[in-house]
């Protein structure tokens, strides 16, 4: 349990103090500096505030743990978030039952108390994340980390509100991580549908279409990709009405490939197991909805998730096939492993039909994006400068970062087909961009942004906070911040 406390209420056995660069202390640390053990530790200059270094010393009335913060001029909210994650993991590993944390005393440029509390709490929850569902060995008995007090000297009410937001965002991120980390034989399209239906809220309505309903609705591109699998597809629609009924929703569309072998254009065997993560776009949408409903945000959202496997079989769609999408656009299939954009075509066209205010889609779409940006940032493309700038701003704040790539009109030439309307790959050059060009054909004139999370959805470098690796929950922090900013800018949605 993580809670807000004031310094005079501290009662825990371990107190965590920031140690600044050069072995300097903040006010709380200064209050125990006269203790001979602390004085000796500081005099030794063991790590002198090196970022992330931790050392405990035993006092007469408990234990003090000093955590290095590095150069104070380089501190930002994400470094604070990451530091808190390291602290939480260390406390848990050392069998600490209760702890007081004084990290809010750190000075961070342009950061309020609420900002710091939210970052610390997010870090603590995400740093304590585990995924051991399938481990059967009995675990070693240990003391549970029962409570952490984030010590504040200021507006307690404001801090508690920030804590509640952090809990919801961490909950959504962890939900997305769990979905991504489950293996493909567990996390099937049906399972995703069940998880969507399990998100209960008075303002949330969820509809899950099975194969028969998908056929009736005419989501033919999704059905084409599903042909090689014995597992039925699902088409998931979520409607959250937290604002006025007349307010057009923001549509969030997530790619739900629960396992992708590449189809007839089969992937190399090495690391194919990681293709269980190809549904992390859908996990992001579900994680965002979980966070938004727990926060009860006053905004309208539409969630759309097309879900299937992409496997080989006698009925599998083939290179050279021409399929007709839900929108009526014909698609020449040149590579069956470029399937994500194919199923998203139906989902985006459906979302556009609902006349949302804007559309944002999430997809582990192209290996080319990993080559271009690695695991440090999500690829961003789209038709709306306002959406893109909003995402860039939120990415900088949450460190769930995005980087814009161009979508010049000339790139559209690469997906023109000689025998159909478009083809599902534009070749090796500008692969991430031409994939976005493909998607752009299905959103009509609705303001739209595309997030290619192929490099950030799992084993992300530089932005992830997870002691176990695997799925990261990429885009949950990003979009929740983006939505909260929309509410502040457009108060009519409340």
Domain architecture of the chain: domains with CATH: 2-154 (3.40.220.10), 168-493 (3.40.630.10)
Mean pLDDT of the region 396-405: 96
State how far the alpha carbon of 436 is from the alpha carbons of 225, 409, 494, in Å: 19, 12, 33
d(CA 64, CA 85): 18
Mean pLDDT of 170-193: 98
SS3 469: coil
Closest CA to 217 of 310, 317, 315, 327: 327
Segment 71-89 mean pLDDT: 94
What is the distance between the alpha carbons of residues 348 and 251, in angstroms, rounded to a whole number? 9
pLDDT tens across 345-362, in order? Answer: 999 999 999 999 999 999
pLDDT for residue 491 = 57
The answer to whether 143 and 102 have CB atoms below 8 angstroms apart is no
> What per-residue confidence (pLDDT) applies to 343?
98
Of 50, 55, 203, 267, the active-site residue reads 267
pLDDT at 232 over 60: yes
| pTM tops 0.75 | yes
Which residues, 6+ apart, have CB-to-CB distance to 61 below 8 Å? Answer: none
Model confidence pLDDT, tens digit, residues 106-153: 999 999 999 999 999 999 999 999 999 999 987 776 677 889 999 998
| Whether pLDDT at 197 is above 60 | yes
Catalytic residue among 341, 388, 401, 477: 341
Is the pLDDT confidence value at 48 over 90? no
- Cβ–Cβ under 8 Å, residues 330 and 418: no
What is the pLDDT confidence band of residue 44, given thresholds at 50, 70 and 90? confident
**Does the annotation count 341 as an active-site position?**
yes
Annotation says 397 is catalytic: no
Instruction: For 262-316, write each residue's pLDDT tens digit.
Output: 999 999 999 999 999 999 999 999 999 999 999 999 999 999 999 999 999 999 9
H/E segment holding residue 410:
none
């Amino acid at each position: 349990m993580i809670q807000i406390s004031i310094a005079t209420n501290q009662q825990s056995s371990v107190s965590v103090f920031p140690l600044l660069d050069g072995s300097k202390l903040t006010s709380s640390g200064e209050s125990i500096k006269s203790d001979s053990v602390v004085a000796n530790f500081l005099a030794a200059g063991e790590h002198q505030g090196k970022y992330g270094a931790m050392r405990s010393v035993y006092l007469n009335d408990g234990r003090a743990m000093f955590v290095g913060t590095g150069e104070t001029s380089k501190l930002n909210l994400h470094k604070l978030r990451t530091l808190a994650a390291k602290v939480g993991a260390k406390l848990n590993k050392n069998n600490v039952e209760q702890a007081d944390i004084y990290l809010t005393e750190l000075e961070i440029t342009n950061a309020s108390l609420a900002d710091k509390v939210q970052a610390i709490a997010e870090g603590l929850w995400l740093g304590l994340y585990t995924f051991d569902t399938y481990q059967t060995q009995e675990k070693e008995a240990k003391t549970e980390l029962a409570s952490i007090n984030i010590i504040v000297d200021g507006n307690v009410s404001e801090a508690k509100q920030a804590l509640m937001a952090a809990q919801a965002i961490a909950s959504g991120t962890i939900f997305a991580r769990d979905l991504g980390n489950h293996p493909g034989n567990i996390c099937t399209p049906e399972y995703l549908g069940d998880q969507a239906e399990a998100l209960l809220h008075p303002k949330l309505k969820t509809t899950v279409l099975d194969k028969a309903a998908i056929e009736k609705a005419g989501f033919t591109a999704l059905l084409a990709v599903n042909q090689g699998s014995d597992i039925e597809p699902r088409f998931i629609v979520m409607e959250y009405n937290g604002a006025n009924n007349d307010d057009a929703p923001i549509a969030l569309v997530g790619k739900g490939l629960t396992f992708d072998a590449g189809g007839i254009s089969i992937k190399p065997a090495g690391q194919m197991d990681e293709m269980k993560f190809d549904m992390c776009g859908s996990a992001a949408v579900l994680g965002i909805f979980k966070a938004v409903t727990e926060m009860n945000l006053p905004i309208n959202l539409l969630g759309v998730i097309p879900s299937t496997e992409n496997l080989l079989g006698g009925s599998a769609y083939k290179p050279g096939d021409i399929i007709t999408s839900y929108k009526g656009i014909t698609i020449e299939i040149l590579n069956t492993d470029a399937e994500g954009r194919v199923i998203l075509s139906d989902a985006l066209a459906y979302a556009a039909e609902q006349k949302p205010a804007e559309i944002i889609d999430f997809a582990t779409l192209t290996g080319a994006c990993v080559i271009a940006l690695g695991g440090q940032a999500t690829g961003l493309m789209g038709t709306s400068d306002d959406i893109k700038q909003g995402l860039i701003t939120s990415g900088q704040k949450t460190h769930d970062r995005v980087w814009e790539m161009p979508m010049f009109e000339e790139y559209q030439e690469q997906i023109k087909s000689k025998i159909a309307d478009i083809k599902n790959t534009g070749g090796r050059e500008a692969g991430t961009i031409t994939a976005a060009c493909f998607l752009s054909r299905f959103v009509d004139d609705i303001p739209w942004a595309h997030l290619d999370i192929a490099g950030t959805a799992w084993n992300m470098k530089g932005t992830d906070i997870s002691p176990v690796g695997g799925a990261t929950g990429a885009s949950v922090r990003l979009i929740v911040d983006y939505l909260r900013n929309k509410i502040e800018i457009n108060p009519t949605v409340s």
